[in-house]
Structure 1
């Protein structure tokens, strides 16, 4: 069969041959697999109307398009499958308990608290662990995910429950959904005086999608207008039928503020776990689990809160978590006390990772540091290629010139830095969901990370024309000055809703900054001097404020503006040049305007960006 020709370039037909490629693969990767020069594939893509380079990460659709043209069957390997194959190459089985039934032991249930904003989720968690979280939160909002374990007594036996402290506002939908993946039971908090709200229904959807049992905590029973029975009736419409109505869902009336019936709620969680779930894990194998939260501590480095799902994690284990790896130097419990080991369902804070993993990354213990480093580096490379493919814009020969010429499409490029990986992920998910005029304007996140804003972030923002969003972080060292010099806009936020509102406002109109005029000073002309090659210079006395060289100026005569939009070109005190002259002093002012007269007033001002409400 004759090889098809593309612009004079002949490439052998694949005849249906299957090629497996990683997500985000480039033409070079494809060329290596079929033994073809990548430059030839660039010409094929041009023939197909796509402008791509040999090393550019391609989307799944582009890879499929190229495969169809060359008669190859392209299989894009998902990150999950690729990760599983990677672990299999090291003889590691992730997500399964080793051994047989006799090796399994009962483990505590892992619980996520969900519900509508202001229905009392944080207050309930506060009441359960008897510590005051609310006072330390910006705006009374749970800003990051934590975890802790509590003990309760059921039928004379001590039982433990692990709580994942997920934030409850709709802005953190992605984090709630991710929390539910590690969750055995969901506690749905509904205010007795407010009833079912949109986010209540959203939380129910998350719990059902994760196929976890639900325990309903009817909160605020001590508030005027509370009607717990109305809540029970409303929730029957969502398939949650109380046991007293013949259903299988436990409803518990509580008051988180007064601490009423908290023990009853914990007992309901344990009973639901015993009735609906068989929670067992093998504590004798090497530990595996999930990173719930991570951040960078200035003194101790990367701090990752992990939930052990199977096996036992010990101090000194070699661990890999997402694209981070290291040796467990120390483990801390929810009280900050050191622990030597963590068994299934136990959340602990781990010290010793090389960098900050993402919230939701899985972790596993491997035999030595070398294996951990290899797995982490391959994961990091795979994630980088996948992100590049996700971020790359689809540009065709048909539209790229037209787009450039007409400016039909605007993109708001963002780099997100935060104090917690969960906050960064939640903020990114929320910003990408903003709708602003369809396809006319869009958001693209070109970088994200945990920790202070670095020089690399500023360089990337300057080269790409991006805005840096700092969530509870600031630039390190002198990077703030560097950002000013390079003209990089850095926005700082401590409450996530404010960030979303401002970005949405900017996106909907690509809002230009508003400026307001600020008066600097004024000077009265006493005498006019004619200077060769310069023109008229006004000998003046500064009446108020300050006159600065290069500031904006206007000329006023008898209260009427004679000329606006002038500039103080020259400023002298006697025979010396001056940068500024203050109130009460005499000076010579040149404003590049010759029709100046005695008793005219020169008023100087500057334009300052007006902060938006």
Structure 2
């Protein structure tokens, strides 16, 4: 009992204490408590701010200390560089003063005299490089110097006994010239060879001395740049550089590449400017004196209309048959033929007025150009390099379209030319006399033949007069500057061919003697880019002047920029053979202009024809010529730009490709890709993109190329059409036929959507039926009226009367009528709409027009554009405003 009472008391006490705690918990904090909490929060915030400020202050101090340290280091570095620069300046001044005291510091005039002496020796044909290699270079050894008399006695001779006996005059002349230049001291050719070393050393010293302020601290870079500059200033002789390049073509190319990578843009620009000045000076020096001029082969270009006999004339001169082997007998590529002097003498033997001794040129280089319209780019390319031109005119047809274009090209380029009045064998009762001159052959013809000749000749003279040109027969022409000479010829029988050659040679030697002088200055142009089985892509090059060697570094134009490569092979066709015809080639180490050659090299797949070809002897010239090529490419590449949508074009040469692209541009056919060579699977894959974009352009045009079997199989699977042809006009006809079929299919498909613009005025006395159908006579004010055209009345809120179902003109049914005609039309109501009646919905005072729409205008633009003339399109614009079409 007592324990239970104690427990109850204990429980009561616990309950009281718990209730007190709960009351304390539920009690609100006092103001003092809140104030103290707030003060604590403020103190904590201030402490955090103080700590943050302290951290920022320390960081600022650290940053300031680091900045001052960097400034101190930078100033120290500048001071060191200034000391080095001052030391280098002092060193260069001391070196210059030492050279001046030793007599090795030459003036510009003295250096120029030495260069002239070296160049003169090179021009005399003396190999100074071998002389320098064989000489005892006592100047560079550490042995004691011998007395001057002893040195002269021990001085070796560079030429053997045989050489002295063979060419003593050349050596004596060269010595005399050198003595004139350097009159201070007499020198032998051994001294001259030693001078080369001195000049090179002097050139390096001068470059270092003149550019010491621009040099960087790195001595290795200085040596690379200075060595490059010396190579640019003192380039080896043509024979020496060619031999060295022939032995190590790959090393030369790689070294040039490595040197270019180490140069800055400023260095490159400096080298380009130096090369520009050096090349200009070199061109002036290469002009031979009038007394020492040696003529090169003259370059002849044969131009004229298609089928006038251009290639046949060359076949007669060469005794070949190239024309019959060409596809369709049509020239579609530029060709070149080397004609030796012996052949010219033989071909002109019947001309008494032209003797063999009168021929000073070593031969002729004749360029044959295509005459078709699409090949205008090749005619321009062929005429750009020629010295003289043969304009072939068919006496039976006179001046034709491409003949006029050729005359304009020749007059624009100021190229002298002679007119070959070809096909005289077609004159009435013409008798062939190929073994006598054409003047005598004409005198032996019958009267009726001469009458026919005079009439046709007079017609040709009138054709030239229409172009403000005077012409006369070559043997009657007493004023060649005012009158263009004409030589009657027959490429079939050979009449007049000798006279043509003789006249050209005489005129070229009389009027172009200075231009025909051979010069070492390179002038060459890429005529064609071809792919040869076994050799890869090659260049057909017309070399007018200068020389090209195996191993030379050449710079030419490419589709993606300048191409720098090394000549791996130089192939020369046989004399009197066509360059473009496959045959036996002679592999040569060197060729001299003028001639047509084939060059084999790497990376020629994207080379462009029609641009000049340069030979670079050092890095500076390579940079300069690359810049020249880049400028020429900017305008040329725009003509080969492709479209996102279009056909794919493949051709055997770039010239043929350009001609095909010219045709496509005239026909408004876009092209999305181009290629040269065989059609492969990759070409089909590129063309197959058009299957999704625009199916009608999923076409490959392959001109004069082979189609790979795998590519042909793949094209059939993916839906690509391939057109192949060896004649460009056959390919054009196939493409035109294909595009016409596509157009006709689309026209049939969209015939219901096509609405042509027309404006009609109702004839009041010609209303035959007023309602369903409406039959009235109308006068066509403007536009084109066709069956199926919906008709509306703009003055009555564009109410639609129906469609024209028939048209009659003079009681005859017609499908269409044009502006100014008066016809009877039948208008049937549109299905599903209430019929309209005359006088209720419209009358004769209302103008009727076709109900065009935005969709119908787009369809007409795409598929019927050629059916509308300029006035019709003006009416379309008028109806758009009238019917509120956007």
Aligned to 2:418: 215
The answer to whether the Cα contact below 8 Å between 1:326 and 1:372 also exists between their aligned partners in 2 is: no
The answer to whether the Cα contact below 8 Å between 2:678 and 2:707 also exists between their aligned partners in 1 is: yes
Write the distance in 2 (CA, Å) between the matches of 1:86 and 1:427: 43
Write the distance in 2 (CA, Å) between the matches of 1:259 and 1:249: 22
Is 1:113 aligned to 2:297, yes or no?
no
Greater strand fraction, Structure 1 or Structure 2: 1
Aligned to 2:554: 319
Is 1:454 aligned to 2:703, yes or no?
no
Write the distance in 2 (CA, Å) between the matches of 1:117 and 1:86: 51
SS class of match (2:573): coil
The answer to whether the Cα contact below 8 Å between 1:310 and 1:344 also exists between their aligned partners in 2 is: yes
Aligned to 1:193: 396
Residue 445 of structure 1, CA deviation: 2.6
The answer to whether the Cα contact below 8 Å between 1:325 and 1:373 also exists between their aligned partners in 2 is: no
Normalized against structure 2, the TM-score is what?
0.42
Residue 267 of structure 1, CA deviation: 1.5
The answer to whether the Cα contact below 8 Å between 2:648 and 2:673 also exists between their aligned partners in 1 is: yes
Residue 427 of structure 1, CA deviation: 1.4
CA shift digits 1:141-162 (9 cap, x unpaired): 1121121121323532343111
Residue 513 of structure 1, CA deviation: 7.6
CA pair 264-208 structure 1, distance change in 2 beyond 3 A: same
Aligned to 1:303: 538
Aligned to 2:669: 443
The answer to whether the Cα contact below 8 Å between 1:87 and 1:94 also exists between their aligned partners in 2 is: no
1:273-312 aligned within 5 A: 273-277=508-512, 278-280=514-516, 283-285=519-521, 287-312=522-547
Q: 1:125 aligns with which of 311, 314, 325?
A: 314
Aligned to 1:268: 503
1:103-502 aligned within 5 A: 105-150=294-339, 151=341, 152-153=344-345, 154-157=354-357, 158=359, 159=361, 160-225=363-428, 227=453, 229-230=457-458, 231-238=460-467, 239-242=469-472, 244=476, 246=479, 247-277=482-512, 278-280=514-516, 283-285=519-521, 287-323=522-558, 324-335=563-574, 336-356=585-605, 357-367=607-617, 387=637, 391=641, 413-434=646-667, 442-464=668-690, 465=694, 466=697, 467-476=699-708, 478-502=710-734
CA shift digits 1:312-351 (9 cap, x unpaired): 1122212223224432222222322233322232111112
SS class of match (1:91): helix
Residue 217 of structure 1, CA deviation: 0.5
CA pair 207-508 structure 1, distance change in 2 beyond 3 A: farther
SS class of match (1:101): coil
Aligned to 2:812: none
Residue 495 of structure 1, CA deviation: 0.7
The answer to whether the Cα contact below 8 Å between 1:453 and 1:473 also exists between their aligned partners in 2 is: yes
CA shift digits 1:452-487 (9 cap, x unpaired): 123442232222454221111133462222323332
Write the distance in 1 (CA, Å) between the matches of 2:270 and 2:373: 35
Residue 163 of structure 1, CA deviation: 0.8
The answer to whether the Cα contact below 8 Å between 1:418 and 1:451 also exists between their aligned partners in 2 is: yes
CA pair 255-392 structure 1, distance change in 2 beyond 3 A: closer
SS class of match (2:551): coil
Greater helix fraction, Structure 1 or Structure 2: 2
CA pair 457-325 structure 1, distance change in 2 beyond 3 A: farther
Larger Cα-atom Rg: 2
CA pair 510-212 structure 1, distance change in 2 beyond 3 A: farther
SS class of match (2:604): coil
CA shift digits 1:540-564 (9 cap, x unpaired): xxxxxxxxxxxxxxxxxxxxxxxxx
Write the distance in 1 (CA, Å) between the matches of 2:503 and 2:645: 48
SS class of match (2:688): helix
Write the distance in 1 (CA, Å) between the matches of 2:639 and 2:490: 49
The root-mean-square deviation of aligned C-alpha atoms, in Å, is 3.6
Write the distance in 1 (CA, Å) between the matches of 2:677 and 2:271: 29
CA shift digits 1:373-422 (9 cap, x unpaired): 997799699959985797477xxxxxxxxxxxxxxxxx971222111222
CA pair 289-224 structure 1, distance change in 2 beyond 3 A: same
CA pair 236-350 structure 1, distance change in 2 beyond 3 A: same
Greater displacement, 108-117 / 133-142: 108-117
Instruction: Please list every run of 5 or more consecutive structure 2 residues that lacks an aligned counterpart in the other structure.
Output: 1-268, 346-353, 429-451, 575-584, 747-886
Residue 280 of structure 1, CA deviation: 3.8
Write the distance in 2 (CA, Å) between the matches of 1:94 and 1:358: 26
CA pair 279-384 structure 1, distance change in 2 beyond 3 A: closer
The answer to whether the Cα contact below 8 Å between 2:298 and 2:516 also exists between their aligned partners in 1 is: no
SS class of match (1:200): helix
Give aligned pairs, total. 406
Normalized against structure 1, the TM-score is what?
0.59
Residue 133 of structure 1, CA deviation: 0.3
